[in-house]
Amino acid sequence: MSQYDPIALNDQAEAADSKALRDRMAAEREAADIRWLMESEQGRRIVWRILNQSGVFRSSFSSDALAMAFSEGNRNIGLQLMAQVHELCPDMYPEMVREANARNLDD
């Protein structure tokens, strides 16, 4: 049986505060992870590869609606990652692009 008491407002407020704290800590951890990943050339290569594979830089149009929906789902993941990079370490994005362009010239 649940211990939830709808009348115990203090308990509800404490639970909400606890959840908000856990959510804030998780967001801070994720932000630190993205910054850490973007600090190294190896990490930037990983992010660039994910952005490319997710289809961020190409159209996802298809005459097959299901294929297009699948592509848009993949693209959405890449767009979320790109938004995090731009928000958390915007100075690293141009460096990542320069490195990717240099690798393409070497190929």
- pTM here is 0.82
The answer on pLDDT for 79 being more than 60 is yes
Residue of 85, 88, 90, 57 lying closest to 71 (CA atoms): 57
Helices (H) and strands (E) counted in the chain, each on its own, are 4, 0
Q: Residue 29: what pLDDT?
A: 97
Tokens found for residue 18: 């606890």
The answer on pLDDT for 1 being more than 70 is no
pLDDT in tens, 5-63: 777 778 777 888 888 999 999 999 999 999 999 999 999 999 999 999 999 999 999 99
